[in-house]
Amino acid sequence: MIEIRFCKDKAELDAYGRVVAYVFANNDPSDVESEIASMLPEWTTCAFVDGRLVSTMGTLPFTVRLNGAPVAMGGVTAVGTLPERRRQGLLRRVMTEGLGTMRERGQSCAILWASMGAIYQRFGYGLASTQVSYRFDPRFAQLAFDAPVSGSVTMEPKDEAMPTIKQVYVQAATPRNLYIHRSSVLWELSTMRPRTKGDTTHVAIYRDASGEARGYLVYHTREEHHAEPGPNQVMTVRDFVSLDIDAWRGLWDFIRRHDLVGRVEMQGCIGEDDPAPDLLLEPRVLNRGTADAIWLRVVDVEKALPQRPYGGRGELFFAIDGDDVCPWNNGSFLLETDGTTTSVTRTGHAPDITLNPNALASLIAGSRTATHLARAGCLEGVESALRTADRLFHTEYPPHTPDSF
């Protein structure tokens, strides 16, 4: 007998944790326990076969900025199935049930970090953002032009720094796109989490000439022995937040003042619009890389699209086709907006553009324009409608989510 439901008690939640630990090869019991401690049973969706839990999915209740507007989303995590029960359709049933529950809770979109993009594209998820990585020797990461910085950076103990950096993060996140409202749990389990058990998490804050905090770093350092001469420390930057270019320059200079650091690693904490490639004397030293980051799934088209601001006044007839997981999304719609207030209604009018849920996810997040999607064969539409969609779905900032979950 197969049941698709949430965990009912602590024993089932412990079984959930064991499945997740096995699927993701996490052999640290304390690590698993800390994650399970923050998960409520009703946030889970699981498959039970003859009473045994074999497939899992968690849904964290997030508020996420979508082109600057707060939107309730489900943060999908801990998706996995024991190998002896794979290829039997259990994950599809779990995902379908979970997305239906999100719709009932008013979570109009779902987001996740994908262990494999191939798993989630078949469930209607589209690429919503990328993550940028740097790996560089700070000795060679000087800026092309010196500019005076009015403020200074000081290190502060984590507990003392938290109230300040939380406020800076809120200021930075408010106008952004795909930034998550950080709960205390998310701060602890993501941003401030030690690299390994027992490691120290360092915080450095930039304050301007008036003493106002305008940026901060969260980072770790460690020794890494190697045969070559030179600095042998590694600095891993977990969070890099600046409210202006002075703060950015001050924090960058602070990183470069670590004379015993031979390598700086930054991954996920910076977005596509980070200015380092524009400001460095030799940008190649960054060894800049990009990879897929957040995948998004529109759970309820009629509720999701009106929740984000648009690039101006306009209207667009569009159709969603091929959504077999959230079939209520299929059909033709009219989007009407003045840029701030938007309505989406069903219509019998012929669509100007037609797309599947995967392309819609990339479009609503601002990850891809309608014209780009059409050129890639992921969307069909007349040229005038593509130009309209490009203008309407414009975002002030490129999508970026600096938190893992």
Tell me: the pLDDT tens digits for 215-271?
A: 999 999 999 887 788 799 999 999 999 999 999 999 999 999 999 999 999 999 999
Reading the block at residue 165, the tokens are 């950096």
CB 73 within 8 A of CB 110: yes
Residues 171 and 320 in one domain: no
Q: Do the domain assignments include residue 385?
A: yes
Tell me: do 101 and 23 sit in the same domain. Answer: yes
Whether the CB-CB separation of 65 and 178 falls below 8 Å is answered with yes
Last residue of a domain, one of 292, 314, 329: 292
355 and 377 both lie in a single domain:
yes
pLDDT at 31: 73
Considering its fold, how many domains does the chain have in total? 3
Q: What mean pLDDT comes out for the span 390-401?
A: 97
pLDDT of residue 159: 94
Q: Are residues 142 and 270 in the same domain?
A: yes
Q: How confident is the model at residue 198 (pLDDT cuts 50, 70, 90)?
A: confident
Residue 362, pLDDT above cutoff 80: yes
Q: Distance of CA 63 to CAs 97, 98, 106, 164, 217, Å?
A: 21, 17, 11, 21, 23
Cα–Cα distance between 161 and 316 in angstroms, integer? 47
CA dihedral 158, 159, 160, 166 (to 10 degrees): 80
Domain that holds residue 25: 2-107
**Does 32 score more than 80 pLDDT?**
no
Condensed to tens digits (0 to 9), the pLDDT of residues 72-113 reads 999 999 999 999 999 999 999 999 999 999 999 999 999 999
pLDDT of 319 over the 80 cut: yes
Same domain as 103, residue 50: yes
**Is 139 in the same domain as 288?**
yes
Helices 29-37, 10-23: crossing angle, 10 deg rounding: 130
**Reported pTM:** 0.94
Instruction: For residue 248, report the phi and psi dihedrals to the nearest 5 degrees.
Output: -60, -45
- Burial of 340 from C-beta contacts in 10 A (0-12 / 13-18 / 19+): exposed
Residue 329 has a pLDDT of: 98
Which pLDDT does position 195 carry in this prediction? 82
Band of pLDDT at residue 282, cut at 50, 70 and 90: very high
- What's the pLDDT at 123? 97
Nearest alpha-carbon partner for 337 in 312, 362, 354, 361: 312
Q: Report the 10 Å Cβ neighbour count for 84.
A: 8
The predicted pLDDT at position 330 comes to 98
In a domain, 402, yes or no: no
Q: 278 and 351 share a domain? A: no
- Give the tokens for residue 334: 């009219």
- 120 domain-assigned: no
pLDDT (mean) for 184-189: 93
Helix (H, G, I), strand (E, B) or coil at 184: helix
Q: Which pLDDT score is estimated for 42?
A: 94
**3-state percent helix, strand, coil for the chain, nearest multiple of 5:** 30, 30, 35
Tell me what pLDDT residue 29 has.
73
Helix (H) / strand (E) element for 262: namely strand 261-270
* Averaged pLDDT of the chain: 96
Using pLDDT thresholds of 50, 70 and 90, give the confidence band for residue 34. Answer: confident
Q: Do residue 285 and residue 311 come from a single domain?
A: no
Q: Are 62 and 163 found together in one domain? A: no
Cβ burial, residue 49 (10 Å; 0-12/13-18/19+): middle
